[in-house]
Amino acid sequence: MTSPRYSIIIPAYNAESSIEQCVDTILNQEETDFEMIIVDDGSTDNTLHCITSVAKEDDRIKVIHQNNGGPSSARNKALECAIGEWIVFCDADDQVGDNWLNNYTEIIKCNPESELVVLGINYIFNSGENRDRQVGVDYVGDPTELALLLSQKKILGYLWCKAFRNDVITRHNIRFNKLFRFREDDIFVMEYLNRISHVFSTTRVGYNYHVPDFLEKYREHTSSFELNKEYYCLSKKLTGSSHMTEEAHISLLQSLYWNIKTSSMTVMDARNAYVQITGRERFKFKYILFIIRLFVNYLK
């Protein structure tokens, strides 16, 4: 059996209002050499019925049903059975452009040494803002430099504008951390970047991203200490003492503060954890001021 060029992975949870339109935009691609793996993540609406119906009309579509475990669990389930040469992701409430896959194909054929291909994004705002915005990076070469550029554009962790080599994912057993339901894609991308040596990124737009209300969607997950610890360590390993690592450092300090405020972690526990993770016995002056501001707010 010949493997398809792409495995398209779509986690779907209560997506009955959008999943069929999402699938239609993929089926309309000029590039047809793909399998589509849709994982119903324990939906309580008609999502499973919708995707089962469309799968009957196209044998490239595979449907997996599982109990609700979150997007990380759903993507991991799809990765276990994906046979495509390249892995690409799509969200069930988004649509892809007509040339989404074809853009990847053209770049891959001209740059066979690339182990990650990144396209531009078209943001679609759903909160009443009458504007769209396109974001991307033109760069060819080292993964470290690309990570810094994507971080500056705030698109480092976005999965659906990237094509990943399946053999790299398989060889290094790169998976999504099922404990994280916020920024789990950041960790996955950083782990992948730490395993490769050549990347290609373009501002050519291939994906239409419907921007959610982040505050509402991720209200309970924004202060995850374990996530920020892992992201800081991966950032430091990949980029050294960069602006990206410093931003990760700030996030780590914030999550330590929230752990002190909302759990049984003491100030001394936080200090010891900080030293163990960062190897820094002393805070820089700007971090001292930052921590003072946090604790002033805490005492209010």
**Which two structure tokens, joined as six digits, stand for 17?**
């209002």
Say if residue 290 is exposed, middle or buried (CB neighbours under 10 Å; 0-12, 13-18, 19+): middle
Beta-carbon contacts of 57 under 8 Å, excluding residues fewer than 6 positions away, are: none
Looking at this protein, which amino acid is placed at residue 178?
K
CA distance 18 to 278: 43
CA distance 79 to 174: 10
> pLDDT for 150-169, tens place per residue?
988 888 989 999 999 999 99
Task: Tell me the Ramachandran region of residue 201: left when phi exceeds 0, alpha when psi lies from -120 to 50, beta otherwise.
Answer: beta
Label the pairing between strands 132-135 and 116-125. Answer: antiparallel
pTM, two decimals, is 0.82
List the beta bridge partners of residue 38: 10, 63
Label the pairing between strands 6-12 and 86-89. Answer: parallel
Please tell me which residue, 185 or 290, carries the higher pLDDT value.
Answer: 185
What does residue 203 show for φ and ψ, rounded to 5 degrees?
-85, 0
> pLDDT for 174-207, tens place per residue?
999 988 777 889 999 999 999 999 999 999 998 8
CA angle 115, 174, 95 (to 5 degrees): 70
% helix / strand / coil in the chain, to the nearest 5?
45, 20, 35
> pLDDT for 4-62, tens place per residue?
999 999 999 999 999 999 999 999 999 999 999 999 999 999 999 999 999 999 999 99
Helix axes 225-239, 267-278, angle to 10 degrees: 20
Give the count of beta carbons closer than 10 Å to the beta carbon of residue 57: 9
Give the count of beta carbons closer than 10 Å to the beta carbon of residue 98: 12
